Chain A
Amino acid sequence: MKNRKQVSESARLPDHSGYFGEFGGRFVSETLMEALYELEESFKKAWSDRSFQKEYQNVLTEFVGRPSPLTFAEGLTRHAGGARIYLKREDLNHTGAHKINNAVGQALLAKRMGKMRLIAETGAGQHGVATATVAAKYGFDCEIFMGSEDARRQSLNVFRMNLLGAKVIEVDGGTKTLKDAISEALRDWAQSVLTTHCVMGTAFGPHPFPLMVRSFQSIIGREARQQIMKKEGRLPDALVACVGGGSNSLGLFHHFIGDESVRMYGIEAGGRSLSPGDHAARFQGGRVGVLQGSKTFVLQNPDGQILRTHSVSAGLDYSAVGPELAYYFETGRVHFDMVGDEEALQAFDTLSRLEGIIPALESSHAIAYGIRLAREMGQGKTLIINLSGRGDKDVLEVARLRGGVLS
């Protein structure tokens, strides 16, 4: 971090054009611009409105099951042989991941705005399930866009969304993954914008989505801060989270951004290798570009065509990254590294066996890095890993990868 002033300024970003430094903006078609202004205004009003906050908090407590525990991971700490490891248990939320925090917030907002229908993109299916869940609860019509490759990898979540009354639309264009699902959601929104709210699932897309999603997820770090102070009597030395678009990481980081002593680590998917198309490590192999509404780091070829990505986890398998994280990369506030498929799968096993917790494959990337980091940091330090979701949705895919057949 360069200086204290910069730290406190970061907390006030984005600016009113939706920029975090040079990243962010509203790179969408003119048809969506008025809707983005309407959304920004409604969000800002709601966020500073006590009755909205009360309702939101109430749903988080009564429906989502918050606060989520901060569990001391005794087995994992012993295994790593260094810093004390805590897990922020977003896996215990209703629907099994952090995604529900944001889906609840946006659904309450959409209700206030008088929208009738929710649409969402989904990669791992967690955000789709979360959106389908709140749509069922509040009586919205709901359609979820999902790449057909992801729908195959996460067939259980497709079934769950159907059970919840949502229609899942499989997207066959492009790479058949999250990126194509987002494009299709934006296309639908351009047509349905007068009646529909598009529930962006991560801290990405045009302003105000990155701000709004971060805000709805910041409950993670707010709780974690209080919990660690109570348990350890001091701030943690490091935070670790996996990075797809950035919602669970920013959710954990936000309330610690101003604490210079707290180091932050964002872990991207290293996939099979660092060859183009084999990974989703935007900060390793990407350069600044504009994709789906946002100026940020993007994996692309020299002509500017967006590259395919690969990760064993559908939720990290995306060519761009949220603009706020791009800004923290530039300023050095967050350190970015990556973990490949193999190491993530090992961590999936390790956590299952040592802690009795089956983590989501996305979160397994953070676990793997957390083990390395705890070892490096040594004893006397503490570390919080965001366990962004549970692994139930991944069990079939892991079985398939290992040649066991479950069906």
Chain B
Amino acid sequence: MTPQTRKNQITSAKKVIPYLMAGDPDLDVTKALLLEASKAGVWAVELGIPFSDPTADGPVIQKAAIRALSDRTSLSSVLSFLGTIPCSERPPVFIMTYFNLFLSLTIEEFVREAKRVGGIAGAVIPDLSFEDSKEVRKAFKASGLALVPFISPTTSLPRIKKILATADGFIYFVSLLGTTGKALTLSSTMEERVRDLCLRTKLPVCVGFGIQTPEMAQKILEFSDGVIVGSRLVQEENDPVKWGSLLRQFCEVARASAPSRHQ
């Protein structure tokens, strides 16, 4: 199932979204990882584009970015690279990176390229706040791309309502205060907040940051629609086989979970 078809479903399987760093250590490996992800049956992948100054990322992803940058990976090189893999052979992609890289292209160029390449569902831009994203949201919406919004433990209810009103793709619920890669401990407050969010939106609510094990994913999937697994998988990126088998464990847990209910 892809993000595009999800809206027509009454119930839907729980989702796994692996985050991977494009170009770590090179794009051949990235291609192997995308094929593994496709075989594992993920809902989508978040494809990170390395940025020199990743303020929302912890050490694991910072180091992956440095490795990827030494291969001169850029937003436009990754888009061209995706264009060389048939859409049917790769999962839907959300491009994830910092806003400055989109400015090196202009948003219009990005949208045009994304359409040409195909199979790109949207983007996740951690430093593009709701307030500053109006134009990007408009340009994305006009061409069927989703700008995925974040909701964090500090987001107030009035703000949640504002964000949900224009949300698209899925809701990225940030599980903890801090950066990617920090170990998460589950709490009842998080569960309540996610359950509450699920009642307020038709979009899938996916939880990310700090999910280290399939067991933890299983617990989170009891009250959410999906999990985003980042740093834990990025640690295995140099070995696509190992990466694939770890990812499959997350996907099996998701398949064994009761499906999400959405109208």
A interface residues, Cβ below 8 angstroms from B: 17, 25-35, 173-174, 179-180, 183, 186-187, 190-194, 288-293, 295, 298, 300, 302-306
- Is the C-beta of B218 less than 8 angstroms from some C-beta in chain A? no
A187:B154 contact, CB within 8 angstroms:
no
A223, chain B: closest CB distance, angstroms: 35
**Complex interface: chain A residues within 8 A of B177 (CB):** 31, 190-194
Is B12 in contact with chain A by the CB < 8 A criterion? no
- Contact at A303–B179, with CB atoms within 8 Å? no
Q: A25-B131, A33-B130, A34-B155 in contact; A191/B178 too (CB < 8 A)?
A: yes
Interface residues of B, dominant DSSP: loop
Q: Are B182 and A191 in contact (CB under 8 A)?
A: yes
Can you pick out 5 interface pairs between chain A and chain B where the beta carbons lie within 8 Å of each other?
A27-B129, A31-B154, A174-B52, A193-B154, A303-B101
Chain A residues within 8 Å of B100, by CB: 289-291, 298, 300, 304, 306
Partner of B159, one of A34, A35, A288, A292: A34
Give B residues with C-beta under 8 Å from A: 51-56, 58, 62, 69, 72, 74-76, 98-101, 103-104, 126-132, 149-156, 159, 174, 177-179, 182
List 18 additional A-B contacts (Cβ < 8 Å) besides A28-B55, A290-B100.
A17-B132, A29-B56, A30-B151, A30-B152, A31-B154, A33-B155, A34-B155, A173-B62, A183-B53, A187-B178, A194-B154, A289-B100, A295-B132, A302-B104, A303-B72, A304-B75, A304-B103, A304-B104
Q: Cα distance A32–B127 when bound, in Å?
A: 10
Separation of A219 and B169 alpha carbons in the complex (Å): 48
Q: What's the Cα separation between A26 and B154 when bound, in Å? A: 16
Question: What CA separation (Å) do A288 and B151 show in the bound complex?
Answer: 28
One of B54, B104, B129 near A26 (C-beta < 8 A): B129
Q: Which 10 A-B pairs have the closest CB atoms?
A: A304-B104, A191-B178, A303-B74, A30-B150, A31-B152, A304-B101, A305-B52, A30-B152, A306-B52, A289-B100
Residues of chain A within 8 A (CB-CB) of B159 are: 33-34
> Which residues of chain B have C-beta atoms less than 8 A from A32's C-beta?
154
A192 contacts across to B, CB distance below 8 A = 177
> Given A190-B177, A193-B154, A291-B53, A27 and B104 touching (CB < 8 A)?
no
Q: Which of B55, B69, B76 has the most CB of A within 10 A?
A: B55
Q: Which residues of A contact B150 (CB under 8 A)?
A: 29-30
For B76, B104, B130, B151, the residue with the greatest tally of chain A CB atoms inside 10 Å of its CB is B104
B48 smallest CB distance to A (angstroms): 14
Distance of A187 from chain B, by nearest CB (Å): 5
Q: Pick from A26, A190, A288: contact of B132, CB below 8 A.
A: A26
User: How far is B55's CA from A28's CA once the two chains are assembled, in angstroms?
Assistant: 8
Point out the residues of chain A lying under 8 angstroms from B126, CB to CB: 29-30
Residues A17 and B127 in contact in the complex (CB < 8 Å), given A34-B154, A187-B179, A303-B75: no
